Amino acid sequence: MSQPAFDPFGEPVPAVDTSAAPIRASRWLKSGGVGLFWGLVGIIVLARAVFFEPGDLSFERAVAWAQGLLASL
């Protein structure tokens, strides 16, 4: 049995039955929101690298980096 909860004025707070609450939609929205957020972060970082520092992200450097990574494995 759980302890009764009280609000700041001393009134008892009614217990909420969490098993009856629908959680399927909130999980889907949370997953979608997190995926959308990190997708936008990736797009923004890539866009900044391409448009604001074009010399730092060239195709030749990317290929050389990938070859170096594969060689170290």
Asked if residue 61 lies in contact with residue 68, where contact means CB atoms within 8 angstroms, the answer is no
**Taking the domains of the chain in order of start, what are their residue ranges?**
37-73
Average pLDDT over every residue of 23-44: 90
Label residue 21 by pLDDT band (50, 70, 90). low
Q: Is the pLDDT of residue 72 over 90?
A: no
Cα(41)–Cα(49) distance, rounded to whole angstroms? Answer: 12
Output the pTM of the full model: 0.43
Average pLDDT over every residue of 17-24: 64
Residue 51, pLDDT score: 76
Residue 35, pLDDT score: 95
Mean pLDDT across the chain: 81
5: helix, coil or strand?
Answer: strand
Cα(60)–Cα(45) distance, rounded to whole angstroms? Answer: 19
